[in-house]
Structure 1
């Protein structure tokens, strides 16, 4: 591929501590399947090759051990550690970065993101339906985004959303409720009820 069209790899973020949920969010099952595995299947279809982002102490976890991994090589500072680690390992690639806790996400939403990808920008992302800001955890980060992410990391700024705001980011309209995530036991109960009513 030419330098103007970097290959698109997938990075499934699963390294969070899940403190508010009080259990591993990646292992939570919706409709009988751990959400990490469901998100993994979606990401595999949408990208040329995909990896799960993990912390070092998660490598042997049974849910993650069977999947290709990229281990965080930066201090655990949230999603930016996973993104930077992936960019370091395959600097020529663009990364479709995906959080593992998006139970309503479907293949059509990822296809919309990939189809709208602008390789001339630093990133392509959806707008949040909640605050109108970029959604960094279902977004395509081009190789050119690495310099700003690293600069911000070195300065102690770990928010990937703010990096998107400061970058040349193509923003797409919010895809309905597809990017609603689940962070607490109460939100999980509410999400399960929503999904049952949709079935």
Structure 2
């Protein structure tokens, strides 16, 4: 393996509190499968190793217990906790970080992200179709992002998107609706209807 190109591991973020949904988003089923498992299968197929990011209280729940895990070693500060914990566990790796609540995401989107990866910069990410900013939760984070993410954490700033904005990030065009997520019961109902219409 080229020493200048870190191995690419997958990190599926599942540690969110799902407060707006009022139930565990990871367990919501679309097309008959919990979205956590659907996202896991997509990520596992395109990375060398794959891990599930969890909070300590989630380690043993039925949905997550059977998968390789990295338990947050930071307080519940959102996605940055999972990314930092993974980077510190395997500092030599780049991470394809993925949110578990992207029901429209397909393998082609992940493959195009990996094909565009530039290991000579800090990150490779899609542009949000909503605001034109980097999408941090379907992005490749190279090892060099750790210092800035940790520096921002130490300063009380926990937004991974702002870390990508301040980093050398290759920005790709938004992949249509593939990164639309679902945060509320109303959005879930709308997504169910959309998926049924696509079936």
TM-score normalised to structure 1 length: 0.99
Which whole-Å deviations, capped at 9, do the CAs of 1:123-167 have from their partners, x for residues lacking one? 000000000000000000000000000000000000000000000
1:25 matched to which residue of 2? 25
Q: How far does residue 179 in structure 1 lie from its aligned partner after superposition? A: 0.1
Local SS of the residue matching 1:3: coil
Task: Give the structure 1 partner of residue 137 of structure 2.
Answer: 137
Instruction: Measure the CA separation in 2 of the matches of 1:60 and 1:141.
Output: 27
Tell me what 1:94 maps to. 94
User: 1:161: which partner in 2?
Assistant: 161
Note the alpha carbon deviations across 1:22-77, whole angstroms, 9 max, x for none: 00000000000000000000000110010000000000011000000000001110
Offset of 1:4 from its aligned partner? 1.1
Q: What is the aligned partner in structure 2 of residue 103 from structure 1?
A: 103
Q: SS at 1:65's partner residue?
A: coil
Aligned partners of 1:2 and 1:118: how far apart in 2?
Answer: 13
Q: Say which is worse superposed, 1-10 or 187-196, in terms of deviation.
A: 1-10
User: How far apart are the structure 2 equivalents of 1:37 and 1:82?
Assistant: 18
Structure-1 separation of matches of 2:138 and 2:151? 22
| Secondary structure of residue in 2 paired with 1:64 | coil
Return the alpha-carbon distance in structure 2 between the equivalents of residues 24 and 75 of structure 1.
19
Q: Which residue of 2 aligns with 1:150?
A: 150
* Cα RMSD, aligned residues only: 0.5
Length, aligned pairs only: 199
Q: Which runs of 4+ in 1 moved over 6 A?
A: none
Q: CA deviation at 1:3?
A: 3.3
Greater helix proportion: 1
SS where residue 6 of structure 2 aligns?
coil
Where does residue 126 of structure 2 map in the other structure? 126
| Rounded Cα–Cα distance in structure 1 between residues aligned with 2:99 and 2:193 | 21
**Structure 2, unaligned stretches of length 5 or more?**
none
The corresponding residue for 2:55 is 55
- Tell me how far apart the structure 2 counterparts of residues 68 and 114 of structure 1 sit (CA, whole Å): 22
